[in-house]
Amino acid sequence: LWQGFFVLLILVAPILADHHKHSMPADCSEIHHSSRGEYTIFPAGERSAVMSYCSQVMCDMDTDKGGWTVSMARLDGTVNFYRPWNQYKVGFGSPLSEHWIVGLDNLHYMTSNKKYELRVVLEDFDGKTAFANYGSFSVGDECSGYQLTVDGFSDGGAGDGLSSHNQMKFTTLDRDNDLYDKNCARLFLGAFWYNSCH
């Protein structure tokens, strides 16, 4: 995985932008504002309000034509990412600071209804940025272990840190789904779609 970086952002956006006005936007691409900011999304559509699956998220309206939902941010180490399965399932943190805000359930709802791409943005201590883009991204349901599907890597200077984790199930401190003989989430103090920890 990416090491030696200070800021890590994971952004998701549908491949085809939707230009219709939505009263319950499923993601940031359905919010038609020109400025980056905090917005409410409803990844499960109309079921979201009933099922309490709405999320306050940060929307990046500047990067590559905008419409990006910031699903994870690691900035300064103020939020503990060493958490159990159920917290990753629903999400945690604040859109204005470090977070895994959308949650695995909502990532699944989002990526099962549209085709998404994924962008990983890294920034080092000197303020230099790099990114990795994946033209296809989806997350399975809980029964699949929230299996990751990524493809179509293109390099923006960050290198490919995800393709080796394609088709992996999500691992947390209390659910070991990786291929290593120990729990990678326990070794690295944070959950992920680990293959063999790297």
Of the pLDDT bands very low, low, confident and very high (cuts 50, 70, 90), residue 1 is very low
Q: Tens of pLDDT along 63-95?
A: 888 899 999 998 888 999 999 999 999 999 988
DSSP string of 38-89, one letter each residue: EEEE-TTTTHHHHHT--EEEEEE-SGGGS-EEEEEEE-SS-S-----HHHHH
Q: Tens of pLDDT along 32-45?
A: 777 889 998 888 87
The CATH number corresponding to 7-168 among 3.90.215.10, 3.60.15.10, 3.40.50.920, 3.40.710.10 equals 3.90.215.10
The answer to whether residue 55 scores a pLDDT higher than 90 is: no
Mean pLDDT of 124-149: 94
**At a CB cut-off of 8 Å and minimum separation 6, what does 136 contact?**
15, 115, 116, 117, 149, 150, 151, 152
The answer to whether residue 130 scores a pLDDT higher than 70 is: yes
Instruction: Sketch the domain layout of the chain as residue ranges.
Output: 7-168
Q: H or E stretch including 110? A: helix 104-113
